[in-house]
Amino acid sequence: MRQSQLFTRTRREAPKDEEAKNAQLLIRAGFVHKELAGVYTYLPLGLKTLTNINRIIREEMNAIGGQEIVMTALQDKQVWEKTDRWDDAKVDNWFKTEFKSGGETGLGITHEEPITRMMSEHIASYRDLPVYAYQFQTKFRNELRAKSGIMRGKEFLMKDLYSFSKDEEEHQAFFAKAREAYLKVFQRCGIGAETYVTFASGGIFSAFSEEFQTLSDAGEDTIYVDEEKRLAVNKEVMTDENLATLGLSREKLVEKKAIEAGNIFSLGTRFSEPLGLTFMDEKGENKPVVMGSYGIGPTRLMGIIAEALSDEKGLVWPEEVAPFTYHLVSLAGSDGDLQKIADELYADLVSEGKTVLYDDRDARAGEKFADADLIGLPHRIVVGKEALASGKLEVVNRRTGEVSMVLKEELFK
RNA sequence: CGGGCCGUAGUAUACCGGUAGUACGUCUGCUUUGGGAGCAGAUAGACCGAGUUCGAUUCUCGGCGGCCCGACCA
């Protein structure tokens, strides 16, 4: 798209009420707008980025058999009472309100309860299993303290997948596939090298849950990393007994700060039993379904990427995540010939199916370069006097800063 | 929820018990045009309420809002 048409503006300075690097950069570059503490609007560039992250996650969830749905934000308290997760004394971050017609509701903090109840309409026999359903849905959590920019909000997007299996064996097979799918997501989002499968507190039906922790100074968690095995242990479960269970030795572990990018849980029958989600097995016996839940926060992931890959000049987006692949910067000014070359190049790139942000604004070179660095698209193509003189284009890699002069034809290869 | 700090143009900041200045931005014009240009002019501001006071943006109290540390984070 033409940058002159983009309604958002970049800023030189970050607002003083943001300290987190991700929010400072994303606001300065015009990706997000803060509406309230911990509540952010996604602007055109931010939404494109988020959509790309969602696409990556969606592809990987579909690849392991996930079927996409969307559940409601408004919750039926009765189903939550059955699992004892409605009482404010048990779960303290509900946003609750009342229906005018009477009765109470709350905005969904997660969706194990409603999906488990709903599945009882669709699962009756072992022939119906396994089932994997997921959604991208806005969660609401009444956090006492929002912090860390878009990484810990009160309203945020979550991809949550729920698995329904006939027994523990079938569950474990899927759990392993989900782990691999998650690792692919983080790889494609450019933070694969910094992200570790991390053992964390699990709950009632499993010794551990598995978190995906991305190393970051902005992280809220302390983890202990075994670099060789590419595994880590969350500080919250760091005991000698657990290390023995996991086959990790204390000497090889290094303490790091990290941020949780995803978390997968084995739920056993924690939800299927109280909510009556059972199936008839091959022997005609009624059994509770074995469940798992698998969460990634795409908005948080966007914040993590912004945090982890940015530099002093601004954001640095990996190819698959970037809102546009190319930033075409025209330095034509009032030079009609140069202008024409830039316009043609833009049209050609678009017709080739490339995504391009075309800086056609009447602005000085310095401002355009600074903005391009801040926005952080992977490749910057500069059309200026040098391009006209040599017949070549200047292509700059945002991440490495590497500059190459290429002929137009080479660019399209 | 415990503790701390803070609310002044769109943004960032100053000063002041006597109605506010600077920079960036924005708008006009001219010059400029490869790393946030120059000149001239213009635009725009005290979170809300109560109290003290001749007078409050300034002091006091309350509310609302924001940030940070801790706690919490299925």
Q: What is the mean pLDDT of residues A259-276?
A: 95
pLDDT the model gives residue A333? 84
Q: Is the pLDDT of residue A154 over 90?
A: yes
A293: nt with nearest C1' to CA: B74
Q: At what angle do helices A298-309 and A44-63 cross, to 10 degrees?
A: 110
- Residue with CA nearest to B72's C1' atom: A144
In the complex, which nucleotide's C1' lies nearest to the CA atom of residue A18? B67
Q: Which residue is nearest to nucleotide B24 (CA to C1')?
A: A12
pLDDT of residue A326: 97
Q: Which residue is nearest to nucleotide B13 (CA to C1')?
A: A16
Q: Give the pLDDT confidence of A293-346 residue by residue, as tens digits.
A: 999 999 999 999 999 999 999 999 999 999 999 999 999 888 888 899 999 999
B59 C1' – A35 CA distance, angstroms? 32
pLDDT digits (tens, 9 = 90+) for A162-190: 999 999 999 999 999 999 999 999 999 99
Across A89-98, A119-128, A202-211, A243-252, the highest mean pLDDT is recorded for A119-128
Protein contacts on strand B: list nucleotides below 7 Å from a Cβ.
Answer: 1-2, 11-13, 24-25, 32-37, 65-74
Q: Across-strand partners of A327?
A: A357, A380
- The nucleotide lying nearest A146 (C-alpha to C1') is B67
pLDDT reading at A386 higher than 90: no
Who's near A364: CB < 8 A, 6+ residues apart? Answer: none
The 10s digit of each residue's pLDDT in A41-69 is 999 999 999 999 999 999 999 999 999 99
CA–C1' gap, A362 and B45, in angstroms: 30
Round and report the angstrom distance from CA (A151) to C1' (B21): 38
Q: For B34, which residue's CA is nearest its C1'?
A: A365
Distance, in Å, from the CA atom of A306 to the CA atom of A167, rounded to the nearest integer, reads 40
Q: What is the pLDDT of residue A146?
A: 87
* CB contact at 8 A, A237 and A203: no
Per-residue pLDDT reduced to its tens digit, A346-355: 999 999 999 9
Nearest-CA residue relative to C1' of B33 = A364
Q: Say what percent of chain A tops pLDDT 70.
A: 100
Helices (H), A66-153: 77-82, 112-119
Given pLDDT bands bounded at 50, 70 and 90, which one contains residue A70?
Answer: very high
C1’ B68 / CA A60, Å: 38
pLDDT given for residue A204 in this prediction: 67
Nucleotide nearest to A388 (CA to C1'): B34
Whole-number distance in Å between A388 CA and B26 C1': 34
Distance A7 CA to B39 C1' (A): 29
- Distance in Å from B53's C1' to A14's CA comes to 39
Q: Summarize pLDDT for A4-32 with one digit per residue, the tens.
A: 999 999 999 998 989 999 999 999 999 99
The distance (Å) linking the CA of A4 with the C1' of B27 is 17
The set of residues, in sequence order, having a beta carbon less than 8 Å from that of A393 and lying 6+ positions away, is A345, A381, A382, A383, A387, A405, A406, A407, A408, A411
**Phi and psi (nearest 5°) for A341?**
-60, -45
Q: What is the pLDDT of residue A311?
A: 95
Residue A203 pLDDT > 70: no
Tell me the helix, strand and coil percentages in chain A, rounded to 5.
35, 30, 35
The nucleotide whose C1' lies nearest the CA of A39 is B66
Separation of CA A340 and C1' B32 in angstroms?
A: 22
Asked if pLDDT for residue A389 goes beyond 90, the answer is: no
How far apart are alpha carbons A243 and A259 in whole angstroms? 21
**What residues have CB less than 8 Å from A218, skipping those under 6 apart?**
A20, A21, A22, A148, A151, A257, A259, A307
A9 CA, B11 C1': Å apart: 12
Report whether pLDDT(A94) > 80.
yes
